[in-house]
Structure 1
Amino acid sequence: MKLKVAALGTIAALALTACGSTTEGTPEGEGAPAESYKVGIATIVSHPALDAVAEGFTEAMAEAGYTEGENLEIDLQNAQGDQSTLTNIANTFASSDYDGFLAIATPTAQALANVIADRPIVFGAVTDPVAAGLMQDWEAPDANITGVSDMNPMDAQLDLIKEVLPEAASVGIVYSSGEVNSEVQVQEAQKAAESRGLEIKTATVTNSAEVQQAAESLDVDAYLIPTDNTVVSAAESLVQVAEQKSVAVFASDESTMERGAAAGLSVNYTQQGKDAAAVLLKMLEGTPASEIPVETQKQFDLFVNEEAAAAQGIELPAAVVDRATKKF
């Protein structure tokens, strides 16, 4: 399912029976679930990584026997990067009769958690749920929300930068001042940088239109794009600056590698969505969030884009290219 921009206030009419009812019209003996569910999905913005979470969620629900238009109703809402729109979406969801919710990205999870306390919320693409104020303990969530973290291994990302650019002394990170997940990643990068002989230089933005100017303001040997929704949605503008400066770009998600980063370690966002679906089904079936620890990805895919690297004035080492999971 591709993310669609859904206008606020035009939530589709619900054609399914209430939660817990028997699915009508399902042929007997085909193993379809007896329950039908209504799920609200909200995302802060549309870009390929976040789109993949929604797609993975829908795929996993179908694999579990829940098909849109039959025993599953999904209302997908996109705030298009606007916080006030996100707040309105959350309030609309809170007054709905939906059985559960998928919150894609940290700002979305925060918005839904602020107004929905009586039904399950599962998140995907949230970096640090404790820092975001969603819970006090990753292992034992204390409210009605849990999910899947996309915490990226900043130490490994910096090791990759040093492997590609042994003489690099500085790494620039452009990030959104309004995203807690990005602040956490910058802090982790700063912790890992000193022992690797690197200095982290930062520039903050409040919206995607500021990304290009922020990138231009940094005099660095490499750029690293974290899993920051504002910056990822405008990744091309940062890549353009990097090409003009002949500075390599490293990224933390597959879609940004495809759109012009030279290399990076990536979370599998489709899998994030699939894992989130499994978590929500557990909660809908009665398992409390406190018994479902936040899941984290243990393995990260190495992606390389040799054409992009050349445009940025570097050649990727053969050892890096050879072990890449995917080459663009």
Structure 2
Amino acid sequence: MKCALPRRALRALSLATAVLACCTAASAAAETTIGIANFGPHPALARTIAGFKDEMTKAGYVDGKTVHYVYSDANFTPGLIPQTLAQIVSQKPALILTVTTPVAQASVRNVSDRSIPLVFSQVTNPVAAGLVPDWQHGSDRIVGSASVTDYDAVLSFAKKVFPQAKSFGVLYNAGEVNDVAAIDSLKTAAAKAGLKMLATSVDSTIDVPQRTGTMKGADFFYAIGSNLVQSSLPAVASVTDRMKMPILSAEHELIRKGNIIAVAYAPSYESQGAHAAQLALQLLKGVKPSSLAIYRPQPSDYLALINRQKLAQLGMAVPASFEKCQCFVN
């Protein structure tokens, strides 16, 4: 048996359905899709992405309400990056955040839709990486927030933490362009700071303990943001501990996890993501990447972390000027 509705009720129902469909369409249209292409799952990179999202939220891009994030990573496999980007592009994003140098480089090559603006983060030197023409301008495709280190600021901080220091040791991979560039900049900063730098090249992790041992007499060891050096820090510490030499790291991760690093000083990952978001907001408004400058970390972006237990084990005290810094991991 069929139940017939009055003609007036049918008209009202049709109107309500139309209004609901219109509102739903408007809601879908208001939601912006933003892609996030990451090299792989890692706590530091996750904090960069969190900083990006937090800054976007402040600007009204609320996850699940006004913005939909499409995330994909290559599990640290360079050959999978094109596939990662293709998955994101298929969702028709309004913008793509690329995290790390390899992903940023691949995005310029592989994202053929030039209407999709690209913004990078966690790229040490975008000029040397061929992403942008100079530090004052993005390219016609991409702009972003660099993670380049201000070595003048680092060594100024080091002299405050280690006030008696006259020299420091550093390892680097001579076969890595970024490492060589870092050493050149660090050498200039060391001369300005009045510190002697003992730099030693290392080709593989196997050589790390022996090469570290050649730095006997240095007042501290500075671990640059090198893949080889950072992954070898437990081996470095096995030697520097015997020499009562503290490690100052350009990365924060290891100092949070254990009792290897004495001090870490570097731009926070969250700030790097936040500054990438500020550039992304300009791109979403239609500003061209080439009209924006690359963001370089400022002193306010740097985060200091100090392991008091490690310093005590090495027979060192925390300078009085740091006692109230709220920068201790234990």
Task: Calculate the TM-score normalised by the size of structure 2.
Answer: 0.75
Q: Does 1:105 align with 2:107?
A: no
| Per-residue deviation, 1:25 | 7.6
Question: What is residue 78 of structure 1 aligned with on the other side?
Answer: 73
What's the CA shift string for 1:251-279, capped at 9, x where partnerless? 12433432342123221211221221222
Question: 2:303 is matched with which residue: 301, 304, 312?
Answer: 301
> Over aligned residues, Cα RMSD in angstroms?
3.2
What's the CA shift string for 1:190-226, capped at 9, x where partnerless? 2223453422424456xxxx54753553232333223
Q: Which amino acid aligns with 1:115?
A: N
Q: Which amino acid aligns with 1:61?
A: M
Q: Which amino acid aligns with 2:208?
A: A
Q: Which amino acid aligns with 1:322?
A: E
| Per-residue deviation, 1:287 | 0.8
For 2:310 and 2:151, the matched residues in 1 are separated by: 22
Question: What is residue 322 of structure 1 aligned with on the other side?
Answer: 323
Q: Does 1:68 align with 2:68?
A: no
For 2:253 and 2:298, the matched residues in 1 are separated by: 19
C-alpha spacing 1:258/1:211, structure 2 compared with 1 (3 Å)? farther
C-alpha spacing 1:45/1:97, structure 2 compared with 1 (3 Å)? same
Q: Which amino acid aligns with 2:121?
A: G
For 1:176 and 1:107, the matched residues in 2 are separated by: 20
C-alpha spacing 1:232/1:79, structure 2 compared with 1 (3 Å)? farther
Deviates more, 1:210-219 or 1:37-46: 210-219
C-alpha spacing 1:115/1:231, structure 2 compared with 1 (3 Å)? farther
Q: Runs of 5+ in structure 2 lacking a partner?
A: 1-21
Q: Does 1:145 align with 2:146?
A: no
Q: Which amino acid aligns with 2:57?
A: A
Q: Runs of 5+ in structure 1 lacking a partner?
A: 1-21, 28-32
For 1:212 and 1:243, the matched residues in 2 are separated by: 18
Q: Does 1:55 align with 2:31?
A: no
| Per-residue deviation, 1:246 | 3.5
Q: How many residues align?
A: 296
| Per-residue deviation, 1:103 | 1.3
For 2:30 and 2:232, the matched residues in 1 are separated by: 41
Q: Which amino acid aligns with 2:31?
A: S
C-alpha spacing 1:89/1:239, structure 2 compared with 1 (3 Å)? farther
| Per-residue deviation, 1:135 | 0.8
Q: Which amino acid aligns with 2:53?
A: T
For 1:26 and 1:315, the matched residues in 2 are separated by: 63
Question: Is the contact made by 2:265 and 2:304 (CA closer than 8 Å) also made in structure 1?
Answer: yes
- The 5 A counterparts of 1:8-157 are 24=24, 35-93=30-88, 97-116=92-111, 118=114, 119-157=116-154
| Per-residue deviation, 1:307 | 1.3
- The 5 A counterparts of 1:283-298 are 283-298=283-298
What's the CA shift string for 1:288-312, capped at 9, x where partnerless? 112221122222233211112234x
For 2:128 and 2:292, the matched residues in 1 are separated by: 18
SS at match of 1:199: strand
| Per-residue deviation, 1:96 | 5.5
C-alpha spacing 1:25/1:229, structure 2 compared with 1 (3 Å)? farther
Question: Is the contact made by 2:101 and 2:123 (CA closer than 8 Å) also made in structure 1?
Answer: yes
Q: Does 1:192 align with 2:189?
A: yes
| Per-residue deviation, 1:228 | 3.7
Q: Does 1:271 align with 2:271?
A: yes
Q: Which amino acid aligns with 2:252?
A: E
Q: Which amino acid aligns with 2:225?
A: T
| Per-residue deviation, 1:130 | 1.0
What's the CA shift string for 1:155-204, capped at 9, x where partnerless? 232344445163553412345955x5444323211222345342242445
C-alpha spacing 1:290/1:36, structure 2 compared with 1 (3 Å)? same
For 2:229 and 2:221, the matched residues in 1 are separated by: 12
Question: What is residue 8 of structure 1 aligned with on the other side?
Answer: none
Deviates more, 1:108-117 or 1:284-293: 108-117
- The 5 A counterparts of 1:219-238 are 219-220=214-215, 221=218, 222-228=220-226, 231-232=229-230, 235-236=233-234, 238=236
For 1:124 and 1:139, the matched residues in 2 are separated by: 16
- Identity level (%): 22
What's the CA shift string for 1:87-108, capped at 9, x where partnerless? 4424554566322211112222
What's the CA shift string for 1:104-160, capped at 9, x where partnerless? 122222222222351211111222211111111221223211111222221232344
Question: What is residue 243 of structure 1 aligned with on the other side?
Answer: 241
C-alpha spacing 1:137/1:248, structure 2 compared with 1 (3 Å)? same
For 1:95 and 1:177, the matched residues in 2 are separated by: 37
For 1:44 and 1:146, the matched residues in 2 are separated by: 18
Task: Calculate the TM-score normalised by the size of structure 1.
Answer: 0.76
Question: Is the contact made by 1:23 and 1:36 (CA closer than 8 Å) also made in structure 2?
Answer: no
